[in-house]
Amino acid sequence: MIPTVLEAYEREVAAYRISAQSMNEEACREHLSRAHILSQHSVALHLKTHFLMLGFGARTFDLKEVLGQVIRITATVPGHLFGKVPVGNIGWSSVELTQEMSVPPDLNEILEKDLKDCSRLRR
Protein backbone atom coordinates (compact mmCIF):
# COMPACT_ATOMS: atom_id res chain seq x y z
CA MET A 1 0.00 0.00 0.00
CA ILE A 2 1.27 3.46 -0.92
CA PRO A 3 1.64 5.70 2.16
CA THR A 4 0.14 9.17 2.28
CA VAL A 5 2.44 12.15 1.83
CA LEU A 6 2.23 12.90 5.56
CA GLU A 7 3.10 9.31 6.52
CA ALA A 8 6.05 9.26 4.12
CA TYR A 9 7.17 12.68 5.35
CA GLU A 10 7.04 11.60 9.00
CA ARG A 11 9.05 8.47 8.15
CA GLU A 12 11.77 10.56 6.50
CA VAL A 13 11.93 12.94 9.48
CA ALA A 14 12.12 9.98 11.89
CA ALA A 15 14.90 8.42 9.80
CA TYR A 16 16.70 11.78 9.81
CA ARG A 17 16.53 11.94 13.61
CA ILE A 18 17.95 8.42 13.92
CA SER A 19 20.74 9.31 11.47
CA ALA A 20 21.47 12.49 13.42
CA GLN A 21 21.84 10.51 16.66
CA SER A 22 24.41 8.26 15.00
CA MET A 23 26.04 11.33 13.36
CA ASN A 24 25.61 9.95 9.85
CA GLU A 25 25.71 13.24 7.91
CA GLU A 26 25.18 11.65 4.49
CA ALA A 27 22.02 9.86 5.66
CA CYS A 28 20.81 13.05 7.38
CA ARG A 29 21.13 14.97 4.12
CA GLU A 30 19.36 12.21 2.15
CA HIS A 31 16.39 11.97 4.54
CA LEU A 32 15.97 15.74 4.80
CA SER A 33 16.19 16.06 0.99
CA ARG A 34 13.39 13.50 0.63
CA ALA A 35 11.36 15.16 3.40
CA HIS A 36 11.77 18.48 1.59
CA ILE A 37 10.41 17.09 -1.67
CA LEU A 38 7.42 15.61 0.17
CA SER A 39 6.79 18.83 2.11
CA GLN A 40 6.49 21.15 -0.85
CA HIS A 41 2.69 21.00 -1.00
CA SER A 42 2.29 22.21 2.60
CA VAL A 43 3.55 25.56 3.88
CA ALA A 44 3.78 24.22 7.44
CA LEU A 45 5.70 21.04 6.54
CA HIS A 46 7.89 22.97 4.11
CA LEU A 47 8.84 25.46 6.83
CA LYS A 48 9.41 22.65 9.34
CA THR A 49 11.80 20.97 6.91
CA HIS A 50 13.80 24.15 6.39
CA PHE A 51 14.06 24.63 10.15
CA LEU A 52 15.34 21.05 10.45
CA MET A 53 17.87 21.83 7.71
CA LEU A 54 18.86 25.01 9.55
CA GLY A 55 19.46 22.98 12.71
CA PHE A 56 21.52 20.46 10.75
CA GLY A 57 23.61 23.28 9.29
CA ALA A 58 24.19 24.71 12.77
CA ARG A 59 25.14 21.31 14.25
CA THR A 60 27.63 20.70 11.46
CA PHE A 61 29.04 24.26 11.73
CA ASP A 62 28.16 24.93 8.09
CA LEU A 63 27.72 28.71 7.90
CA LYS A 64 26.82 28.61 4.19
CA GLU A 65 24.01 26.17 4.94
CA VAL A 66 22.75 28.19 7.89
CA LEU A 67 22.59 31.36 5.80
CA GLY A 68 21.03 29.46 2.89
CA GLN A 69 18.33 28.08 5.15
CA VAL A 70 17.56 31.50 6.63
CA ILE A 71 16.99 32.74 3.06
CA ARG A 72 14.83 29.71 2.25
CA ILE A 73 12.76 30.09 5.42
CA THR A 74 12.14 33.72 4.48
CA ALA A 75 11.18 32.76 0.90
CA THR A 76 8.93 29.79 1.71
CA VAL A 77 5.66 31.59 2.49
CA PRO A 78 5.89 34.04 -0.44
CA GLY A 79 6.86 31.13 -2.69
CA HIS A 80 3.68 29.29 -1.75
CA LEU A 81 1.53 32.43 -2.04
CA PHE A 82 2.77 33.09 -5.58
CA GLY A 83 2.91 29.43 -6.66
CA LYS A 84 6.68 29.49 -7.12
CA VAL A 85 7.71 26.31 -5.29
CA PRO A 86 10.19 24.44 -7.54
CA VAL A 87 9.11 20.81 -7.96
CA GLY A 88 11.64 18.25 -6.77
CA ASN A 89 14.04 20.82 -5.30
CA ILE A 90 15.93 19.19 -2.42
CA GLY A 91 16.12 22.37 -0.35
CA TRP A 92 19.84 22.61 0.40
CA SER A 93 21.90 25.76 -0.17
CA SER A 94 24.01 23.82 -2.68
CA VAL A 95 21.01 23.92 -5.03
CA GLU A 96 19.58 27.06 -6.62
CA LEU A 97 16.55 28.35 -4.75
CA THR A 98 14.28 28.11 -7.82
CA GLN A 99 15.82 25.04 -9.49
CA GLU A 100 13.34 22.31 -10.40
CA MET A 101 14.69 18.79 -10.09
CA SER A 102 13.45 15.32 -10.92
CA VAL A 103 11.44 13.62 -8.18
CA PRO A 104 12.61 10.14 -7.19
CA PRO A 105 10.15 7.52 -8.57
CA ASP A 106 9.04 6.26 -5.14
CA LEU A 107 8.25 9.80 -3.94
CA ASN A 108 6.56 10.65 -7.23
CA GLU A 109 4.23 7.67 -6.75
CA ILE A 110 3.29 8.93 -3.27
CA LEU A 111 2.75 12.50 -4.48
CA GLU A 112 0.64 11.39 -7.46
CA LYS A 113 -1.55 9.18 -5.26
CA ASP A 114 -2.08 12.07 -2.86
CA LEU A 115 -3.02 14.38 -5.74
CA LYS A 116 -5.55 11.83 -7.05
CA ASP A 117 -7.02 11.35 -3.57
CA CYS A 118 -7.40 15.13 -3.15
CA SER A 119 -9.11 15.56 -6.51
CA ARG A 120 -11.55 12.77 -5.67
CA LEU A 121 -12.45 14.57 -2.42
CA ARG A 122 -13.18 17.82 -4.28
CA ARG A 123 -15.89 16.23 -6.43
**How many beta carbons lie within 10 A of that of residue 16, not counting itself?**
24
Residue 115 has pLDDT above 90, yes or no: no
Give ∠ CA 45-48-51 in degrees, rounded to 5.
155
Instruction: Quote the CA–CA distance of 109 and 22 in Å, as a whole number.
Output: 30
pLDDT at position 68:
98
Q: What is the pLDDT of residues 50-108, one digit of tens each?
A: 999 999 999 999 999 999 999 999 999 999 999 999 999 999 999 999 999 999 999 99
Half-sphere exposure of 118 toward its Cβ, with a 13 Å CA cutoff?
A: 9
- Predicted local distance difference test score (pLDDT) of residue 61: 97
What digits encode the pLDDT tens for the residues 25-42?
Answer: 999 999 999 999 999 999
Question: CB of 114 within 8 A of CB of 4?
Answer: yes
Stated as kind and residue range, the H or E segment containing 115 is: helix 105-122
Residue 5 has pLDDT above 90, yes or no: yes
